[in-house]
Amino acid sequence: MNIKDPKQFTEDFMAYLQAKNQGEPEFHQAVLEVVESLSEFLIKNPRYIHFKILERMVEPERVVQFRVPWTDDKGDIHINRGYRVEMNSAIGPYKGGLRFHPNINLNIFKFLAFEQVLKNSLTSLPMGGGKGGSDFDPKGKSDNEVMRFCQSFMIELTRHIGPNTDVPAGDIGVGGREIGFMFGQYKRLRNEFTGVLTGKGIDWGGSLIRPEATGYGTVYFAEEMLKTRGDSFKGKTVTISGSGNVAQFAVEKVLDLGGKPVSLSDSGGTIYDPDGIDRDKLEYIKELKNIYRGRISEYAETYGVQYFENERPWGIKCDVALPCATQNEISGSEAETLLNNGCFVVAEGANMPSTYEAEHKFLDAKILYAPGKAANAGGVAVSGLEMTQNSMRLSWTREEVDEKLKSIMHNIHNMCVKHGQEKDGFVHYVRGANIAGFVKVANAMIAQGLV
């Protein structure tokens, strides 16, 4: 491998990765982003190359895949596939969400688990990285069907997780309801009440602010970025995608900080509310999505605003964009539209929502652009705080947790600036986050020997 030229180093490493992991485009994309921004640093610090840290980091410590049979309300049998990718435990037990979505596969979980390792390191809490889930689609299922699926899923997953081994949380399609069903089944199978999952209900071991943490954290991070230009959310027009957990609480915090959220979306399309999504409308969305499990198009009917079927919000003029739905939801041309419309802040609430082309457009334009592993780390950070509270068998107040969340996001921002600031003052948040996250894990791996 050429260790003089960063570009060649990246190309050689990617050729190695692609040969070993064929047909895994999202995993390749996530690794490319990291290697590209680390290559210069690695060449200056050759011991990481000598110890083959990158090669080891892209190889999961363990992957489990299993059959999940369950019966629907009519008694018909269904077979889904379950996964857990235990990527890296150098700095703590594996930690990362479970995703239930029909379009997942091992490649998606490897990309998410890889990102999770660096993200968890950035929080400064002792958490390794993992990710998992299933191709089960909770949409359109009854509560009883979801419960039967979760119970069957946990029958196998229980062998692989534990409060000191691997502590899963929620992600797309896995919210409080699913965590509850899985926690109940784990407790029954193991006969122990431990903090084996995070995102639990507040009366049974959950942490205050955990549901809010990812959305709030993303907005806190964006506010930190704005501060570097002497600016704030006050009066800013904000487009947000998604309408699930992360998007809802991003809207809430944007309102707290004086911004105007004007869009939300789901897999059916986008609503555009030029008057702004206010607190009453947000309550309507929470009820629509979390209780009735309805579609975002119903918002447009209720409030008489525009609905763009099968479209994403990036054609709407805004100052700040917060993608909070899913991976690769901003294409290169959508990034260009955002930039042409004056958008100058993009903070990723979702994991890898920008395509490779979009990311490079944002970086080339030198706007305030933060990758998910920095901007959305608030969720896993408060999961880490939930683990601490479970171990100590106590509960912190809402204010205490919120203060800790704010301070963690502030520290992550500082680390990104420390490692990512360029001579002209521009902060390359992608490079900053990748170097800061990498160093801690890499040093721990070296200290622990060839494991």
Among candidates 154, 136, 129, 114, which has minimal Cα distance to 33? 114
Based on the residue annotation, tell me whether 131 is a catalytic residue of this protein.
yes
Nearest approach, Cβ of 447 to ligand NDP (angstroms)?
A: 28
Q: Any contact of residue 129 with ligand NDP (CB under 6 A)?
A: no
Minimum distance, C-beta of residue 309 to ligand NDP, in the bound complex (Å): 12
> What's 4's DSSP letter?
S
Q: Is 263 in the site for ligand NDP (CB under 6 A)?
A: no
Decide if residue 217 touches ligand NDP (CB under 6 A).
no
- CA atoms of 239 and 320, how far apart (whole Å): 6
* CB nearer to ligand NDP: pick between 367 and 375: 375
197 binds ligand NDP (CB under 6 A): no
Inter-residue contact 448 to 95 (CB < 8 Å) = no
| Assigned token pair, 382 | 């408060």
Handedness of CA 36, 337, 350, 24 (dihedral sign): negative
Work out which of 60, 132, 242, 261 binds ligand NDP, going by CB under 6 A: 242
Q: Does 6 bind ligand NDP (CB under 6 A)?
A: no
Q: Is 142 left (phi over 0), alpha (psi -120 to 50) or beta?
A: beta
Q: Which residue has the tokens 């920095």?
A: 374
Q: Which of 121, 151, 198, 326 binds ligand NDP (CB under 6 A)?
A: 326
**Judged by CB under 6 A, does residue 379 bind ligand NDP?**
yes
d(CA 316, CA 268): 17
Q: Does 168 bind ligand NDP (CB under 6 A)?
A: no
Q: Closest CB to ligand NDP among 10 and 270?
A: 270
Angstrom distance (rounded) from CA 200 to CA 67:
25
Report if residue 386 touches ligand NDP, rule: CB under 6 A.
no
Closest approach, Cβ 43 to ligand NDP, in A, equals 31
| 194 backbone dihedrals φ, ψ, rounded to 5° | -135, 170
Using the contact rule CB under 6 A, the part of the chain among 59-67, 154-162, 343-351, 423-431 near ligand NDP is: 343-351
**Residue 226 beta carbon to ligand NDP: minimum distance, rounded to whole angstroms:** 21
Take residue 162 and report the two structure tokens written for it: 């534990």
Phi, psi (5° rounding) for residue 255? -65, -45
30 counts as binding ligand NDP under rule CB under 6 A: no
Cβ(371)–Cβ(433) under 8 Å? yes
Q: Is the distance from CB of 193 to CB of 157 less than 8 angstroms?
A: no
Q: How far apart are CA 123 and CA 382, in angstroms?
A: 10
Residue of the chain from 325, 335, 338, 427 that contacts ligand NDP (CB under 6 A): 325
Q: Which of 95, 110, 119, 131 is catalytic?
A: 131
Contact criterion met (CB below 8 Å) for 313 and 353: no
350 binds ligand NDP (CB under 6 A): yes
Q: By C-alpha distance, which of 243, 180, 171, 231 is closest to 367?
A: 231
DSSP-assigned beta bridge partners for residue 264:
271
Contacting ligand NDP (CB under 6 A), which of 93, 195, 261, 349? 349
Of these, 321, 324, 368, 439, which contacts ligand NDP (CB under 6 A)? 324
Tell me how far apart the alpha carbons of residues 348 and 340 are, in angstroms, rounded to a whole number.
19
Stretch binding ligand NDP (CB under 6 A), from 147-155, 262-270, 362-370, 387-395: 262-270
123 binding ligand NDP? (CB under 6 A): no
Binding of ligand NDP by 207 (CB under 6 A): no
Query: Count of residues binding ligand NDP (CB under 6 A)?
Result: 23
Q: Which positions are catalytic? A: 131
- Which residues of this chain interact with ligand NDP, rule CB under 6 A? 170-173, 175, 214, 242-247, 266-268, 324-326, 349-351, 376, 379
